[in-house]
Amino acid sequence: MTIESDARFWDRAARKYAARPIGAPAEYERTLDRTRALLKSSDRVLELGCGTGTTALRLAGDVESYLATDISAEMIAIANEKR
């Protein structure tokens, strides 16, 4: 597989992926809590593979800056729609 084929795969899957609920919401919330406990307000975060941006949007307010990126332009478009 190439980066381009990976991006095309996720571009095609993005809307269906975004429509699905988080599979284990309690565990996801615990992971967010654990992550928040490690972050400082002065931190600058780079998230690679942010998908539809759910985690980025939940954590961005806790740090100085948060840059989230993904190989899929469609995933980023969905993340931007959530802002």
| Structural domain spans, the chain | 3-19+41-82
For the stretch 28-54, what's the b/e string if a residue is b when 16 or more beta carbons lie within 10 angstroms of its beta carbon? Answer: eeeeeeeeeeeeeeeeebebeebbbbb
Find the radius of gyration of the CA atoms of the chain: 14
pLDDT tens digit string along 49-78?
999 999 999 999 999 999 999 999 999 999
What's residue 58's pLDDT?
A: 97
In whole angstroms, how far apart are CA 64 and each of 9, 43, 53, 61?
A: 33, 5, 17, 8
Q: What is the pLDDT of residues 23-53, one digit of tens each?
A: 999 999 999 999 999 999 999 999 999 999 9
pTM score, whole prediction: 0.89
DSSP one-letter code for 41 = T
